Amino acid sequence: MARSALFASVLSALALAGTASAAPAPIVGTWRAGTIQVQVSTTDRPGIFVGKLLTPLKVSYAGGACTMPVGYGIWSFGGSGTSYSGSLVLVAEDCATPKSTGDVTWTIVERAGSVTVNVCTRSPGSSVPSCQEYDRVGAAPTTTAPTPAPSASGSIEGTWLGYFGTVQIARTGPGLYAGRVLAPSEATRCKERKGATIWKLSGSGSRYQGTALIWDSRKSVCKHLTATATWTIRNGKVTFVTVAPFVTGETSTATLVRR
């Protein structure tokens, strides 16, 4: 009897210690994009999360508009570490019926001094996602799995030449990089500012993803947009692909050569 009681006490102590040392998932917390704020919290199901509005959100339809109130559960997803997937839950045109949009991903990106989450929605029949970057509000939990560092043979670090000019890519953290303009192109109508950071990316080996500032092709004035982007190293060159954030999802592909 005494041995059973002692064994039960040991198991109980171990369980409590494990619970106390478990770090919160890095997705938990408050995220902000412009005036929109979403609070992500855990649910009673392990690995499943819900994101509730901290600010009202208005959505427009052909016949009018609906406003989702504070406390509305707009995100429903699961995952761990820095990668999650699930649904975006809006409202239908009657402003009452939940309208779920599947095939949504949440990817946490850590940069020097900041943490963001890229929320990407892929519409049915489309291979091009629409992405929105949210900044963390407040302190960030420590992520459980660091991004692997790139291999020497496929390093994205260095100076690259493209249609926009010359950009230097430097590491800002484990698996995180930024591209800064060294010399803008003189051949384009819209010119980047020397010293400006126009790329933020993460990855390893020969494949990287992130965001890039591009010029809005719909405007007669030079105005930047934030596009989703990929960088793929092959045979010493980089294939640089951007997808514009507007509805048509305009795609642009360029080849970068190392300087």
The sign of the torsion formed by the CA atoms of 82, 34, 49, 75 equals negative
Q: Is 143 part of any domain?
A: no
Q: Is 14 part of any domain?
A: no
Task: Enter the tokens of residue 76.
Answer: 């429903």
Same domain, 246 and 170: yes
Q: What is the pLDDT of residues 59-92, one digit of tens each?
A: 887 778 888 888 888 998 888 888 888 888 888 8
The candidate with the shortest Cα–Cα distance to 201, out of 161, 236, 238, 163, is: 238
Same domain, 162 and 187: yes
CATH code, 66: 2.40.128
Fill in the amino acid letter for 208: Y
Count the domains in the chain.
2
Residue 110's DSSP bridge partners are: 115
Same domain, 219 and 129: no
Q: Is 73 part of any domain?
A: yes
Place of tokens 């230097």: 168
Q: What is the pLDDT of residues 191-234, one digit of tens each?
A: 889 999 999 998 888 889 889 988 887 777 888 888 888 899 98
Residue ending a domain, choose from 105, 137, 169: 137
pTM as predicted: 0.48
Q: Is 83 part of any domain?
A: yes
Task: Enter the tokens of residue 157.
Answer: 């670090």
Task: Enter the tokens of residue 38.
Answer: 């979403």
Domain span at residue 180 reads 152-258
